């Protein structure tokens, strides 16, 4: 389970880091509504990233099999990426529609 957690959280951290490099306005947000727009963007980027990685894993490529420990572990990562994508997309929707 160690490699799956590293792959899941590492991919989310990588996407968050890349997003932070491109959007400097998140550091200047003071208050709820100025913070809302960057959070909508971040949750959208993370949800799309989870679903994109899950779609790549659905193709059953051979290169992550050895590192993850087999096809069953790759399916498990695919499952957790799908769950994470769903949670992040609902969070994205709540950030965009909820506080109005």
15 inside domain: no
Report d(CA 45, CA 22) in Å as an integer: 12
User: Does the pLDDT of residue 100 top 70, yes or no?
Assistant: no
User: Which domain range does residue 55 map to?
Assistant: 38-100
20 inside domain: no
Round to the nearest angstrom and report the end-to-end CA distance of the chain: 40
Report d(CA 38, CA 56) in Å as an integer: 27
11 inside domain: no
Return the SS3 of 20: helix
Predicted TM-score (pTM) of this structure:
0.85
> For 39-67, what is each residue's pLDDT tens digit?
899 999 999 999 999 999 988 888 888 88
Comparing 1-5, 84-88, 89-93, which segment has the lowest mean pLDDT? 1-5
Number of domains into which the chain is organized: 1
């Amino acid at each position: 389970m160690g490699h799956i957690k590293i792959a899941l959280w590492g991919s989310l951290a990588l996407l968050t880091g890349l997003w932070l490099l491109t959007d400097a306005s998140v550091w200047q947000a003071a208050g709820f509504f100025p913070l809302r727009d960057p959070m909508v963007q971040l949750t959208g980027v993370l949800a799309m990233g989870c679903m994109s990685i899950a779609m790549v894993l659905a193709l059953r490529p051979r290169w992550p099999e050895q590192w993850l420990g087999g096809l069953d572990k790759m399916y498990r990562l695919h499952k957790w990426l799908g769950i994470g994508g769903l949670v992040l997309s609902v969070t994205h929707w709540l950030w965009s529609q909820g506080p109005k």
